[in-house]
Structure 1
Amino acid sequence: MHSGKSYHIGEFIIWTRRNIFLLFLIGAVPVVLFDVFNIYWIAIPWTVVALLGTATAFIVGFKNTQAYNRTWEARQIWGAIVNSSRSWGAMSKNMVTDDAKSKELIYRHFAWLTALRYQMRDSRIWETASKSYNKEYRKYYRIPEKETTLESELAKYLDQEEIEALLKNKNRATQLLAKQSKLLRELLDSGQLDTFQYIEMQKVLNEFFDHQGKSERIKNFPYPRQFATINTFFIRLFCFLLPFGMLFEFSKMNDYVEGPMKGHMVWLVLPFSVLISWVFTSLEQVGESAENPFEGSANDVPISQISRTIEIDLREMLGETDLPEPLTPMNNIVL
């Protein structure tokens, strides 16, 4: 997540520079053929390009809206995790009379948050974090889940025996919630929780199952590939045809222009076609960066920071003073 006022134009140009170079080449070829080699038949009517551009603008806008909705839903889910976690911490501290069991419930919750965020950072074949322009941008920020192993993080909250048993499972977060439910039942059977307290804490535990399932739904179901594919096809086709459609439009300016540019106004096609095409390709790239809000890109939902905030809050509920430091942005980006 970018936590500053905005990206600088320089950052954005660097991020999209590969598109700019390619668009420059695409625009230069028809201009050279038209003005240097006098191949006039390559020019196409502007109406054709305008109609294609209109259709492209609609589908780009649709994709970006849906991509933003995915990111916003992910942020709402993790906002709900914050609220439910605070409820869980207060219940574990105040309803469970055994301090050791109370701490165990809270620390295993930290382990659940850790396992869940590591699962969310796993890569999927459709994600774009591995693309060159995204990979090179990683030097500007940190991905905590890529710096340490899950096992070493879990060691802060669980004993080694439980960690070894947990790591044998595929969905570690689910198993941790199941272990929490089992412990609640044991507390009920031993009389440390009454029936009402047990039901209320089980409700919060069910909320965690629900939040996890919603996160997994976004993680494991991509933005529909048919829409993503046609969006890419339309943009590429539009960017390719745009300079061909502008040739005659700029060549008409030769009739009322004097000076060194007279007879060569068609060369203005190059900068303007690059500019217009860059707008479309940049919109596609921005939308693409919001499709997968857990992949580890600079625009991800900051689940690591959220998890750290929850941990600090719940440790303070336990009366602890040796607290972990909040995660701070690096170059205005925090995950």
Structure 2
Amino acid sequence: MYVRNNLRLSVIRRLTWQGLIIVVFYDIFICVLYGPLGFHWLDIPWQPVATLGTAVAFYIGFKSNGSYDRFTEGRQLWGTIVNVSRIWATRVFHFVEPRGGDRLPDSEEIRDLHHRLLYRQIAWVNALRLHLRRQTATHWDAEVAPFLDSTEDADIRRMSNPPTHLLRQQSDELRQLYQRGLLSEFRHVAMMDSIQDMFNAQGGCERIKNTPFPRQFAYFSFVFVWIFAAVLPLGLVEEFDKLGPGHLWLTVPFAALVSWVFNTIEVVGHTSENPFDDTIYDVPMTSICRTIEIDLRELLGETDLPPKIEPVNDVLY
């Protein structure tokens, strides 16, 4: 996620320079044909061009709003994951305690239980991030495996959807704790509600990831912008030529400027379509996972904590 208040010129150039160069040379070509070469039949009335521009503006505005909604929903889902993780940790500490059974565990075993349940939660958020970014194969050893025991790690990493199986492991452990008398029925249900919230958040993220922005909207948005950029100088060239000798060439900067604005709106919508693709415009899942890790490990009383993720070149990953 880009965090600087104002975009650097390098970012703007990287987004739009190709389109701008194309329309500038195209506008110059139209002016050469109309002026020095005398192809005056190229001009068209301005009114249909303006009507087309209005229609395209509505269309790309719709696309941009839809793309932004996808990003916003993705960020809200990860905000939910942060809150549910903290609730889970609180419930682990206050709910998992001796309440009867054949053998009451000592405080060391209780601490081990807390540690395992919270570390598995950290593993889940990292596994979900890697699953959404399609990075499980390359980053699992460094970012998920350290929070699991070797046996569980070997079993989970082979699954097609590791986050789902990690939540299943949490559910199995809760069932065992309930059977041992370390969870009352009410507390067991409350903790299962937290797991349900995690499944809901994971499902929402997977829905966004696996359902691309409708291609008919995205494709025709691109086509319509370039059709408008093609006809725009044809509508402006006669209008500027009426102003007097030499004014014809004003078509180039003004047509290029208007085309650049339309193309930029289209590009902004395009870059916001997929909030989990690990680009500079995505939800900062790495930073969010690190925040959850720090919070949960501090609750365990650990002091050797990793640093917070800081922006790199104004981008927070």
Pick the aligned partner of 1:206 from 180, 196, 202.
196
8 Å Cα contact 2:309/2:316 also seen in 1 = yes
Distance 1:147 1:279 in 2: 40
Q: Please report how far the alpha carbon of residue 94 of structure 1 lies from its aligned counterpart in structure 2 after TM superposition.
A: 2.4
Change beyond 3 A, Cα 1:160–1:147? closer
Counterpart residue type for residue 103 of structure 1? H
- On the 8 A contact 1:166/1:172 being kept in 2, the answer is yes
1:11 deviation in Å? 3.0
Contact 1:2 1:334 in 2 (8 A): yes
Query: Of 250, 255, 260, which aligns to 1:273?
Result: 255
Separation of aligned partners in 1, 2:27 and 2:262: 15
1:112 maps to a residue whose letter is W
8 Å CA contact 1:93–1:99 kept in 2: the answer is no
**What is the SS of the residue equivalent to 2:242?**
helix
Q: Residue 248 of structure 1: which of 238, 245, 259 is its match?
A: 238
> In 2 relative to 1, CA 174–105 (structure 1 residues): closer, same or farther, beyond 3 Å?
same
| Large movers: runs of 4+ above 2 Å | 8-11, 145-148
Residues in 1 aligned to 2:157 and 2:46: alpha-carbon distance in whole angstroms: 61
> Gaps spanning 5+ residues in structure 2: where?
98-109
Letter in 2 for 1:185: R
Indicate yes or no: 2:35 matched with 1:23.
no
Which amino acid letter does the alignment assign opposite residue 190 of structure 1?
R
Of residues 97, 111, 114, the one that matches 1:102 is 114
**1:259-308 deviation line (CA, Å, top 9, x unaligned):** xxxx2211111111111100000111111111111111211111111111
Match of 1:53 in 2: 53
TM-score scaled by length of structure 1: 0.88
Identity %: 40
Normalised by the length of structure 2, the TM-score is 0.93
Backbone CA RMSD of aligned residues: 1.5
Amino acid at match of 1:243: P
Deviation, structure 1 residue 15: 2.8
Q: Which residue of 1 aligns with 2:172?
A: 182
State the number of aligned residues.
305
* Aligned-pair CA distance for 1:28: 1.5
Q: Which runs of 5 or more structure 1 residues have no equivalent in the other structure?
A: 123-144, 255-262
> Shift in Å at residue 162 of structure 1?
1.6
Question: Does residue 152 of the first structure (1) align with residue 142 of the second (2)?
Answer: yes
Distance (Å, rounded) in 2 between the aligned partners of 1:146 and 1:305: 17
SS at match of 2:147: coil
Amino acid at match of 1:329: P
Residue 148 of structure 1 deviates from its aligned partner by 5.7
Alignment equivalent of 1:231, drawn from 209, 217, 221: 221
d(CA) in 1 for partners of 2:136, 2:20 = 31
SS in 1 for 2:314: coil
Render the CA deviation track for 1:87-142: whole Å, top value 9, x for unaligned.
Answer: 001111222231111111111111111110011112xxxxxxxxxxxxxxxxxxxx
| Structure 2: distance between partners of 1:6 and 1:184 | 48
Q: Secondary structure at the match of 2:183?
A: coil
- Matched residues in 2 for 1:56 and 1:13: separation? 23
| 1:150 Cα deviation from its structure 2 partner | 1.4
> Taking structure 1 as reference, are residues 147 and 332 closer, same or farther at Cα in structure 2, changes over 3 Å only?
farther
Given that residues 15 and 267 in structure 2 are in contact (C-alpha distance below 8 angstroms), is that contact kept between their aligned partners in structure 1?
A: no
